[in-house]
Amino acid sequence: MDQHYDKLESMTAAERKVYMDGRLRTAVSRAYRGAPASRAMMLETGVRPSEIKTVADLEKLPISRKTDLIDSQKLAPPYGGYYIGKPEEIERIFVSPGPVYEPLHSSKIEWFARSFWAAGFRKGDIVINTFTYHLSPAGTLFQEGLRDCGATVIVAGAGNTDIHIKTIKDLSVNAFVGTPSYLMSLIKKIEETGGDYRKDYRINKAWFTGEMLSPSIRKVLESDYGIDTYQAYAVTEPGGALAYECSDKSGLHLMDDYVIEIVDPLTGKQLPPGEVGEVVVTPLHNPHWGLLRFGTGDLSKMLIDNCPCGRTAPKLAGLLGRSGEAVKVRGMFVVPKQVETALAAVAEVGRFQLVVRRNGTRDELTLITELKSGVTANLELQNRIESVFQKTSIVKLDSVVLLPPGTIAADAKPVIDERKWD
C-alpha cells in the first residue's frame, strides 16, 4: 500500500533542499511582484526578494497570522492584497471562517491527494465525505483529492446523522473522511439503536483531520472495529494538507507544496528538529495566492528519521498545543477577537470567556458572558447572543452562561481549553 503518489516523496535530502529552495525563491519573487500586501511587508522590513534564497532566509520576514489576514481583507477588500492575477480569471473562491476569501484559478485541485494516497484510498473505494461544503473549502478540497486517487465520493457534507448512517449501509461505504469524534458518534448511535456495526457495515479505512486523533480512540477504531486510521494536518488559509501519515504512523510527513518552519512563537526564529515551536507555513502550490510565513498558532516539532515507508520528507510529531488564543473546536477555529467584535452588537454584555471541554469523543463549546449592571438574564437575551455568535463562527455553541457583573476577572484569559489528550 505504500506505493508512492509521485517521485517527489522519495527525493534525497539534497534533492529536496534544491527543489524547495527553488520553489521558495519563485514564490517570494511572485508575491513581491503581484501581491501588494506582501510587497508592502517586504518594503517595510527592508528585505528584497533576492535576499530570500533558502528556507533559512525566511527568518528575515515577519510572521502573519489569521487575525492579520482578516484585518487586511477588511482594509483592502476582498482579498487583502494577497491575490495575484486578474479578477475575471478566478474560477473559485473559497470562504473560510473569519471570513477569509481565497481565490483560485485552477479547476484541478489535487492538494490533498498525497495524503489520501498514503492512506490507501484508490479506485473502487466508496468514500463518505462528512466535512462541510457550506462556506468552507474543506468538503470540496477533500473531494478533489479523493477523486485524484480514483475513489468514488459521496457528497454527504456535515448534516443529519441518521441520513449518514443509512447512506453508509445502503451504498456499502468502505471509507470515511471526517473527524474521529464524528465517526465514533456514528458507530455508537448504530449500536445504541440496535444495529450491529461489525456485521452490517463495511468501513475499513478512515482519514481524519480537524481535530486530534487520540491514541485511545485510534486503538478502539482499529482494534475493536477493524478500521485502518490515518490523519492529516491541514490549515485552511495556506490552502491544503501540510502533513500526512503513512502506514508507519510515526509522525506526519511534510508536503512538498509548502515550506514548513518550526519557530519560536515570540521571535519567529527557526528551531532545530526535536524542539517544540509554532508551525509556520509558506504555500508554494497556488501561484495566485501571495501569502508568506503564515503562523498557524499550532505547536509541533520536526522529526528527521528513515521512515520504513520510503518517504524521505521530514515529519511533524502531531499537534502538541496552541501558541495563541484561537482555539480549534470540532475541526474549526474560533477566534476570540471575532467573538469580541460580534458581542459588541449586544449592549447588555460585558466580558466573556470561551470554555472548551471534551465530553466523550465530542468537543463542547460554552460561551460565558458577564452581564452589565442592571441587566437581568433571560431567554431572549441568550438567544440573541447565540445568534450573533453563529453569524461569526461556523462552530455552534453548546451552551451560553449569563453571569452577573464582576464575575469574570479583567485579566482572565478569553479561552479556557479544558480538554485532555491521552
Q: Which tens digits make up the pLDDT trace of 370-380?
A: 999 999 999 99
> Which residue ranges make up each domain of the chain?
332-417
Question: At 97, is the pLDDT very low, low, confident or very high (cuts 50, 70, 90)?
Answer: confident
Please write the tens of the pLDDT for every residue from 264-310: 888 899 999 988 889 999 999 888 999 999 999 888 889 999 999 99
323-333 tens-digit pLDDT: 765 677 887 76
Q: What is the pLDDT of residue 405?
A: 92
CATH architecture of 332-417: 2-Layer Sandwich (3.30)
Residue entry with cell 473559485: 92
Cell digits for 92? 473559485
In this structure, are residues 235 and 100 in contact, taking their beta carbons and an 8 Å threshold?
no
Backbone phi and psi for residue 46, each to the nearest 5 degrees, phi listed first: 75, 25
Reduced to 3 states (helix: H, G, I; strand: E, B; else coil), residue 122 is coil
For residue 23, what is its C-alpha cell? 520553489
Q: State the Cα–Cα distance between residues 116 and 5, nearest whole angstrom.
A: 9
Which tens digit of pLDDT belongs to each residue from 22-45? 999 999 999 999 999 999 999 999
Average pLDDT of the residues in 387-396: 84
Cα 192 to Cα 208: distance, rounded to the nearest angstrom: 24
Neighbour tally for 410: CB within 10 Å: 6
